Amino acid sequence: MKLSQKQLYFILILCSIMIFLNSMEAMVNIKDIDSYKEWKEKIEFLGNSQIENMDHKSLYLTIHMCYFFTKTLVPMTLGIYSYFAFKFIKINKIYVYIWIVLLIGNLAFTLFEFNFDSLFYYINIVCSLFLIIILLFINREIHKRWVKTDGV
């Protein structure tokens, strides 16, 4: 089955929203001096000798950037793959199932943040759920076409 333009736009819009929100959240977290001071106090409290010799600012930035990359990896690859699927190839149930599993994993990763005071947290969860619903609709459409052509 070929991915329709409407489905592609829904997927790309939701992925863009997730990437944008994760970018904004990373920027807010990195620029928040109180968050940095709190993190630095926790590190100093632990008293690990390997961490004491490091530059705390670069370590703080590296941690947040790795976290940002981890959170945006699934939406980025889903958007890029969906675009190429729309342009060049047909999709099947494997496409749907793989992306549903990856989105559920990304959703679980987001849910276990327990960042209840952040608006980004809730919008990210909603976007992930909408992407899963869209993929389930695509799965249903693939199944209907399969039943129609095979007569099963």
pLDDT digits (tens, 9 = 90+) for 105-152: 999 999 998 888 889 999 999 999 999 999 999 999 888 888 777 655
Number of H helices, E strands in the chain: 6, 0
Q: What's the angle, vertex CA 117, arms to CA 67 and CA 45, rounded to 5?
A: 60
Q: CB–CB of 68/44 below 8 Å? A: no
Reported confidence tier of residue 42, pLDDT bands at 50, 70, 90: confident
Query: Crossing angle, helix 56-87 and helix 33-46, to 10 degrees?
Result: 120
* Other C-beta atoms lying within 10 Å of the C-beta of residue 58: 9
Reported confidence tier of residue 59, pLDDT bands at 50, 70, 90: confident
Long-range contacts of 56-62 (CB under 8 A, 24+ apart): 60/30, 60/36, 61/30
Q: Return the structure tokens found at 45.
A: 């409290």
pLDDT reading at 28 higher than 70: yes
CA-closest candidate to residue 86, choices 127, 124, 138? 138
pTM for the whole structure: 0.84
Reported confidence tier of residue 69, pLDDT bands at 50, 70, 90: very high
